[in-house]
Amino acid sequence: MGIFDVFKKDKGPDYDPANLKITDLRPGFIVDFDLKTWEVNEEYEYDWGNNYFTREFKLEAVDDLIYLFIDDNDELDISYSRKVKIRAVGEDIPEHIIKHQEAPKKIHYEGMDFFLDKESPGYFSDDPKNDDSWTELISWDYYDTSEEYILSIQQWGDKEFDAAFGKVVKPFEFSNIIPGE
Tell me the pTM: 0.89
Q: Give the Cα-Cα-Cα angle 20, 179, 78 (nearest 5 degrees).
A: 55
> What is the residue extent of each domain of the chain?
28-178
Residue 54: which of 116, 149, 123, 103 has the closest Cα?
123
Close Cβ partners of 128 (under 8 Å, ≥ 6 residues apart): 45, 134
Count of CB atoms situated within 10 Å of the CB of 13: 11
Close Cβ partners of 123 (under 8 Å, ≥ 6 residues apart): 46, 47, 134, 135, 136, 137
- Residue 76 CA to residue 72 CA, distance in Å, equals 5
Q: pLDDT 10s per residue in the chain (181 long)?
A: 455 554 445 555 677 777 899 999 999 999 999 999 999 999 999 999 999 999 999 999 999 999 999 999 889 999 999 999 999 999 999 999 999 999 999 999 999 999 999 999 999 999 877 878 899 999 999 999 999 999 999 999 999 999 999 999 999 999 999 998 6
Yes or no: say if 61 and 38 are a contact pair by the CB < 8 Å rule.
yes
